[in-house]
Amino acid sequence: MQAVESSRLYRQIAEQLRGLITGGEFDAGTRLPAERDLARQLGVSRPSVREALIALEVEGWVEVRTGSGIYVQPQAQRASVARAPAANGSAEWGPLQVMQARELVEGEVAALAARHAKKPQLAAMASALARMREEAESGDGPQGGDEAFHQAIAQACGNEVLVDTVRGYWNARQEPIFSRLGDHFENAASWQAALTEHAAVLAAIRARDAEGARAAMQQHLKKATGRYSASWKRANKPGT
């Protein structure tokens, strides 16, 4: 393996792993080295390796077996890696990097919303939170309500550039790699945790507490990133 440079890093890692697989370094059915070992050998972070492995899983090159490891799939399972990136480039964004960016940007968006939100915008946030609760109670992931909540906060911040920025994050959220990450690490317990965190954000915005809104949003997104970064052994386990 060779150390890789940082430019769409997880894609570079995925390409190198594909090369090792096609070159016979890892045969079909072989378990890949552990995430931490791959990170050390490649000279990159574990989150970047995780994004690469999820990308390879989406493309059919590997299979994630919770509690066991990452296994190379037979050649017949592998999809073509050619893809057309989205117009805004979000198709190439790594999910965990998106979450880190959201923590920085959406904390400030929430602070602005606390200062500028009007009653109809506060009502839209409350409606989105109620929708999240309904979706979670029905057993479905509350992605629709989640997106509506964050978009409502952006609309209330009073800055169209930030509105478009937040929308770009949610365009990225629709990409297969992000969806697959959610399949592994989102569950009823994580949805309930997210609901509690969203309620804290809304309470601070309603109270016109800009500092509190910023802190609550940053805390929510930091915890969400932590859930996506949990051990594979905890993936889709109750109480994680």
**Each residue of 3-61: pLDDT tens digit?**
555 457 888 999 999 999 999 999 999 999 998 999 999 899 888 899 999 999 999 99
CATH fit for domain 9-77, picks 1.10.10.10, 3.40.47.10, 3.90.79.10, 1.10.132.20: 1.10.10.10
Domain 91-234 fold: Four Helix Bundle (Hemerythrin (Met), subunit A) (1.20.120)
In this structure, how many other beta carbons lie within 10 angstroms of the beta carbon of residue 166? Answer: 21
Domain ranges of the chain: 9-77, 91-234
Instruction: Give the side-chain half-sphere CA count within 13 A for 228.
Output: 27
| Three-class DSSP category at 164 | helix
Q: What does the block give as tokens for 122?
A: 């506060």
Q: Which one has a higher pLDDT value, 220 or 235?
A: 220
For residue 88, pLDDT beyond 50 = no
- The model's confidence at residue 181, banded by pLDDT at 50, 70 and 90, is confident
110-to-46, 79, 231 alpha-carbon distances in Å: 29, 40, 30
Note the pLDDT of residue 238: 46
Mean pLDDT of the chain: 87
As a whole number of angstroms, the distance between CA 240 and CA 232 comes to 11
As a whole number of angstroms, the distance between CA 134 and CA 195 comes to 11
For residue 89, pLDDT beyond 70 = no
Q: What does the block give as tokens for 177?
A: 């790699």
As a whole number of angstroms, the distance between CA 118 and CA 125 comes to 11
Rounded to an integer, the average pLDDT of 90-97 is 76
Verdict on whether the full-model pTM lies above 0.75: yes
As a whole number of angstroms, the distance between CA 199 and CA 169 comes to 21
Q: 54-88 b/e with 16+ CB inside 10 Å = b?
A: bbbbbbbbbbbeeeebbebbeeeebeeeeeeeeee
Of the given ranges (158-172, 181-195, 200-214), which has the lowest mean pLDDT?
181-195
Note the pLDDT of residue 8: 78
